[in-house]
Structure 1
Amino acid sequence: MLGIVITGHGKFATGLLSAVEQVIGSQTQCKAIDFPEGISTEELASQLEDACNACDNGDGIVLLCDLLGGSPFRQASQIALTKNNYEVISGTNMQIAAEMLLEREELTAAEFRNAAVICGKDGITSLWHELSTEDNNTDF
């Protein structure tokens, strides 16, 4: 099973993991690493490395980041570039995290990456768009 490490600015990571676990239950091989004010990027990198080591059972790791180009993304990318079966996803939201955590047992890191990007795009909508579709399904 893929390990998951969630990271982002402030308390994004712990907040997202807490919300996801409220909906889908407790997750194994999954850690949240926050990047609050006052810690250095070196400290963040060290914490991400430790989390990856704790979550990787040999199947790989996906690092879910909040913002493309931010320090958490850059540090996660530095780790992923040195490892096989590591992927980095930016723009992570609850839709991506919840759906993909439920599917991770059956996916490789590359398959997870591709499915997460599709999931994220499909999950961004509005009530108006949902009600305007031909297959109008109001069973939210």
Structure 2
Amino acid sequence: MVGVILTGHGSFATGLYQAATQIVGAQAQFDAIDFPDGMSSGSFEQQLVTLLEQCNKGDGVIFLTDIVGGTPFKVSAMLSFQFKHIEVISGINMPLLLEILLQRDVLDIQTLRLETIKNAKNSISSLWHEQQKKSSINKEFADGI
């Protein structure tokens, strides 16, 4: 099973972690670390390495970060060059996280990365778009009767 570590600014990571475990329950090899205001990047890196060692059971670990270019992303990227079988995905949200958690025991780390990026477009919607889908389904249903 691929390990998953959430990270981001403020309480982004632990908030997303708590929401995900509320929906899918407690998960093995899954943890979160926040990067709060005032934390040094060195301290953050040490904590991230500790989590990496705990979450990596041989199939690799995916770091899921909030934004490209921020400290959580940069430190995760740096660690991906130091350790084997590490992927870094930025821009994580709840739909993508749940998909990763539910597929990480059947997909290898590279396929999981590719599927996540491919599915990212479908993880964001608006009320208008959802209403259009329902209108289309209702129209198809009405046309079939």
Fold match (TM-score > 0.5):
yes
Q: How many residues align?
A: 137
Shift of 1:73: 0.2
Does the aligned pair in 2 maintain the 1:9–1:34 contact within 8 Å? yes
Residue deviations 1:89-121 (CA, integer Å, cap 9, x gap): 000111111111011001111111111112221
Mapped to 2, the partners of 1:105 and 1:66 lie a distance apart of 23
Does the aligned pair in 2 maintain the 1:85–1:109 contact within 8 Å? yes
- 1:72 matched to 2:80: no
Structure 2: give runs of 5+ residues left out of the alignment. 139-145
Mapped to 2, the partners of 1:7 and 1:118 lie a distance apart of 21
> Equivalent residue of 1:51, what SS?
helix
- Whichever residue aligns with residue 102 of structure 2, its letter is L
**Structure showing greater Rg:** 2
The equivalent residue for 1:106 is 106
Residue deviations 1:36-55 (CA, integer Å, cap 9, x gap): 01110111111111101000
Structure 1: give runs of 5+ residues left out of the alignment. none
- Whichever residue aligns with residue 117 of structure 1, its letter is I
* TM-score between the two structures when normalised by the length of structure 1: 0.92
Greater helix fraction, Structure 1 or Structure 2: 2
- Whichever residue aligns with residue 70 of structure 2, its letter is G
Shift of 1:25: 0.6
The equivalent residue for 1:14 is 14
The equivalent residue for 2:129 is 129
Identity of aligned residues (%): 41
Does the aligned pair in 2 maintain the 1:7–1:66 contact within 8 Å? yes
The equivalent residue for 2:26 is 26
Residue deviations 1:53-103 (CA, integer Å, cap 9, x gap): 000001000000011110000000000122221100000111111111011
Does the aligned pair in 2 maintain the 1:95–1:119 contact within 8 Å? no
- Whichever residue aligns with residue 15 of structure 2, its letter is G
> Equivalent residue of 2:87, what SS?
strand
- The 5 Å alignment of 1:91-102 reads 91-102=91-102
* TM-score between the two structures when normalised by the length of structure 2: 0.89
